[in-house]
Amino acid sequence: MRQQRGATVELGGFVYDVAADELLDRRGARVRLRPQCQAVLRCLAMSPGRLVSKDALMRAVWPDVFVTDDSLVQCVKELRRALDDGRRRLLQTEPRRGYRLVTDDAGAPSARPAGPLTDDLRDVRFATADDGVRLAFAVAGRGTPLVRAAPFASHLQFELECLVSGPLLREFARRFRFVRYDPRGQGLSDRDVDPGDLDRRVRDLESVVDAAGVERFVLFAIGIGSPIAIRFAVLHPERVDRMVLLSASARGVAARGERSQPEPNREAWLTLIRDHWESDDPIVRQMATTRHFPRATREQCDTYNELMRRSLSTQAALAVVRADARLNVDDELSRVACPTLVIHNPEDTLSPFFEGRRLASGIPGARLALLEADNRIPLENDPAFERLLDLIADFVAESKHASGPAARRAFSADPRDTDGARDGLGAAQVVSLSTRRRA
């Protein structure tokens, strides 16, 4: 059997790879299932050893489509044949209630990846967008709701194991009621669908928060997810209490002009993605990883390379890169009504620092925090990691004590920002948070 990467469920010699969404037989070959059968297996494997109700399975597999119980029964029969489970030892039925997938170790949750993860971090649910696309989301933790707008690459299960993203996600779940989701075309959401324009992505975010049952929340975005958050905050000010933008930009690379990335360079990058994205050799994905995390360890890079591969097919990666390049909410910044914290690493090359300054100066009353770190976003072994978490937690906590102008305390301008006036930063509130290792 080929080596398994990530969380797996052992089923009588068969293996279900959670992150890859693949069932492998006893020889390690992929077992091909109908999409509906695959979806039933996926839902059951997310809760190994636990009863999953018929209603829950029907909602997940056939959202907004009327089918009888016979459709589910037929899928179960096909799964039992595929698993050679004639005695119903692996896929058990509880009459009139639902089904249970029993693992080789008597129902213990073997799909859990290593690390101090809570059950709800792995509890994947599904929302249905207004055009019928199913969006996978997860809700973990308690306290103030913190909702992450869709990032560039997302896979709800595998990103927990990724050494780059996993630590930050776990900390958010410890401190907040944390909501995250896979955008359309990625991760555990419906694949082989276009990422859509910005309005489509905003409506998807609305579908997720509605399904998650959060009415008012803090909106958090990293990188190119920021235009989604900004437009949502403009369209739904009654729902966004505060907004945190990390390594953010209001404009994609095509909207910034030649100063950011010449068109021939973008076309060359698209050609590399087209030819090598899903290759076993991660050289193209490593190019992206190196720009995100230049000081990451080899092991950290490997897991982020794999996260991108698991999240996006070649066609999905091409579609997302093209769509992200055209995003532009620059003209909407002045309409953001919620307190906003912009956190930016001055040495970020993907979202240049002038983009962070542009955000902070365009959003009324926004703060710009300069977070110096070894990587674009601080990793667990970076001294800036804890400072980033504390900065966000402190900003979120202010909503419990004050709101409006009183909550936006002034900061003195950073003395190194000599060209702030050129980029319109004269009225912005800036704080320098240097946590870089010093000799």
What is the structure's pLDDT at 272? 87
Q: Are residues 243 and 308 located together in one domain of the fold?
A: yes
Report the CATH number that the domain containing residue 42 is assigned in CATH. 1.10.10.10
Structural domain span for residue 70:
8-101
Residues 92-105 as b/e (b if ≥16 CB within 10 A, e otherwise) read eeeeeebbbbbbbe
Contact 360, 370 (CB under 8 A): no
What is the structure's pLDDT at 198? 95
Q: Are residues 220 and 294 located together in one domain of the fold?
A: yes
Q: Are residues 131 and 93 located together in one domain of the fold?
A: no
Domain boundary among 74, 101, 128: 101
**Residue 430: beta bridge partners?**
368
Contact 436, 375 (CB under 8 A): no
Is residue 315 included in any domain, yes or no? yes
Please report, for the chain, how many H helices and E strands are present, in that order. 14, 15
Torsion of CA 378, 383, 384, 389, to 10 degrees: 90
Nearest C-alpha neighbor of 169 from the set 286, 62, 303, 346: 303
**Burial (CB count within 10 angstroms: exposed 0-12, middle 13-18, buried 19+), residue 231:** buried
Is residue 112 included in any domain, yes or no? no
**Residue 251: beta bridge partners?**
328
Is residue 106 included in any domain, yes or no? no
Beta-carbon contacts of 12 under 8 Å, excluding residues fewer than 6 positions away, are 83, 84, 85, 89, 90, 104
Side-chain half-sphere CA neighbours of 263 within 13 A: 3
Q: Are residues 123 and 58 located together in one domain of the fold?
A: no
Q: Are residues 422 and 322 located together in one domain of the fold?
A: yes
Q: Are residues 73 and 136 located together in one domain of the fold?
A: no
Is residue 111 included in any domain, yes or no? no
pLDDT: is 235 or 438 the higher one? 235
Is residue 284 included in any domain, yes or no? yes
Angle 223-203-392 from CA coordinates, rounded to 5°: 40
Report the CATH number that the domain containing residue 396 is assigned in CATH. 3.40.50.1820
- Going by the DSSP 8-state scheme, the letter that residue 153 receives in this structure is S
Across 67-81, 84-98, 411-425, least confident range: 411-425
Q: How many domains does the chain have?
A: 2
A 10 A CB-CB count for 4 gives 17
Is residue 110 included in any domain, yes or no? no
Contact 125, 136 (CB under 8 A): yes
Q: Are residues 91 and 150 located together in one domain of the fold?
A: no
Q: In sequence order, what DSSP letters do the residues of 170-206 get, joined into one string?
A: HHHHHHSEEEEEPPTTSTTS--SS----HHHHHHHHH
Q: Are residues 33 and 144 located together in one domain of the fold?
A: no
Residue 242 identity (one-letter amino acid): R
Q: Are residues 396 and 308 located together in one domain of the fold?
A: yes
Domain boundary among 52, 67, 101: 101
What is the structure's pLDDT at 260? 58
Q: Are residues 201 and 65 located together in one domain of the fold?
A: no
Q: Are residues 246 and 335 located together in one domain of the fold?
A: yes
Is residue 380 included in any domain, yes or no? yes
What is the structure's pLDDT at 60? 82
338-359 residue pLDDT tens: 999 999 999 888 888 999 999 9
- Going by the DSSP 8-state scheme, the letter that residue 328 receives in this structure is B
Compute the average pLDDT of residues 70-84.
Answer: 91
pLDDT at 418 exceeding the cut of 50: no
Compute the average pLDDT of residues 427-435.
Answer: 46
Q: Are residues 134 and 248 located together in one domain of the fold?
A: yes
Is residue 193 included in any domain, yes or no? yes
